[in-house]
Chains A and B, each alone.
Chain A
Amino acid sequence: AQSVTQLDSHVSVSEGTPVLLRCNYSSSYSPSLFWYVQHPNKGLQLLLKYTSAATLVKGINGFEAEFKKSETSFHLTKPSAHMSDAAEYFCVFGGFKTIFGAGTRLFVKA
C-alpha cells in the first residue's frame, strides 16, 4: 500500500538558517510526490512536484526537494528561512488516491 510519513510534526528554525522538512514514502511503483504549503486560514498551495523527470525539484519561494529512491525520501529544503515561511507543510503522494501526510508546522524565529 502507498503511504507518506512526515517525520516531524513541528520544526523550529531561526530566520536566515536552513530549513529541512522530512518526508518518507512507501510505494510499490514509481510515485508522484508533492509538497504543499498552508498559511493560517488559507487553502493549500502547491510548492513543488516530482514526477520522475528530475530527482532534484525546484519550487516556488526558494524551496526545493530531492527524490531519493534508495532512501524512499522526498525531503523539502530551503537554504535560508524567512519569517513568511512560517506555515504548515504537507507531503503528498499522488496516484489513484491522493494521500496526504500529517503535516509539519514550521516556526520561524526572528
Chain B
Amino acid sequence: KAGVTQTPRYLIKTRGQQVTLSCSPISGHRSVSWYQQTPGQGLQFLFEYFSETQRNKGNFPGRFSGRQFSNSRSEMNVSTLELGDSALYLCASSPGVGTGELFFGEGSRLTVL
C-alpha cells in the first residue's frame, strides 16, 4: 500500500508570493491533517479535513487555508508569504477522525526568501 505522498518536497518562494502544497493520503483514508514544523515553535496543528469538510482548525491566520477533494486528496495554500512561514509542512492521513493514529508523509520544505 502506498504511503502518504506530499508534493513538492522542496520549494523556495519570495515574500508576498503564494504557495500550494499537495497531499495524497493512503488509499481508503478519509481524514487528512496538516502540521507546520519549525525549530522555534515545534510541531503545530494547522487543520484537519474529513470527507471534504474542515473538522478542526489550529491557531493560524487566514492566509493559511486548505481543502479536501472527493478522492480525499488535500491541498493547503499559504498566501502573502512571510519569512516566518519557512517551515516543514507535514501532512498526515488517518482512516477516521480523532484516533491519534496518523500516517505521515515526508513533508514539504518551504523556504521563504
Contacts and interface: CB of A to CB of B under 8 A. Distances in A.
A, B from the same assembly: yes
A103 B104 CA distance: 16
Nearest to B44: A100
Nearest to B9: A41
The A interface is mostly helix, strand or loop, or mixed, namely strand
Interface string B60-92: 000000000000000000000000000010101
A59 B102 CA distance: 15
B46 to A, nearest CB: 12
B106 A34 contact: no
Contacts of B43: 90, 100, 103
B104 A44 contact: yes
- Which among A41, A44, A95 has the greatest number of chain B C-beta atoms within 10 A? A44
A90 B103 CA distance: 14
A46 B101 CA distance: 8
B64 to A, nearest CB: 17
Interface string A81-110: 000000000101111111010110000000
Of the four ranges (under 10, 10 to 19, 20 to 34, 35 or more), the interface on chain B belongs to 20 to 34
Contacts, number: 60
A94 B100 contact: yes
The B interface is mostly helix, strand or loop, or mixed, namely strand
A42 B99 contact: no
Given A98-B33, A98-B45, A44 B109 contact: no
Interface residues of A, number: 22
Contacts of A94: 98-101
Interface in A46-60: 46, 49
B110 to A, nearest CB: 13
Nearest to B37: A38
B98 A95 contact: yes
Given A43-B107, A98-B48, A98-B98, 17 more contacts: A32-B99, A32-B100, A33-B100, A34-B101, A36-B104, A41-B107, A43-B90, A43-B92, A46-B101, A92-B100, A92-B102, A95-B98, A96-B56, A96-B98, A98-B45, A100-B43, A103-B43
Interface of A: 32-34, 36, 41-46, 49, 90, 92-98, 100, 102-103
